[in-house]
Amino acid sequence: MSKLVFSFLLFLCASSAFPADIESSSAIVSPEQKNPKEVDSSHLEKDLQDLNWKQFRLVIESVPKLKADVDAYGPLGWQYVEANYAKYGWKKNIDKLDGVQRQQLADLIQTAKSSQ
């Protein structure tokens, strides 16, 4: 598992060093929503729920506020999340993120989707 996390973080660092030819989050942020604060939390919630467990966990662990929400319940929190993450309402937690963190979440989801 640690190799997977390390390679995911390495990929994120490497991908941020080279500009992309296409906008990676075009499916989440429409052309009218160039402001990161306007990323739709309902859309992010659905995209997050559509990930498989391993991708989902990597994304959640990469966003400190979301990780802290789950870590607050200890190991049982992660077990509960694994059993219910596709049905659980993440919108409330996503709404607590600021614009930059929402954009980071959107980028992480897109990266996870493209690595399937």
Does the pLDDT of residue 26 top 60, yes or no? no
Check residue 29 and report its DSSP letter. Answer: S
Q: Where are the domains of the chain?
A: 2-9+38-114
d(CA 28, CA 39): 7
Does the pLDDT of residue 21 top 50, yes or no? no
pLDDT on residue 18: 47
pLDDT tens by residue, 99-112:
999 999 999 999 99
Tokens encoding 108: 């992480």
Count of Cβ atoms closer than 10 Å to residue 112 Cβ: 21
Q: What is the pTM of this model?
A: 0.65
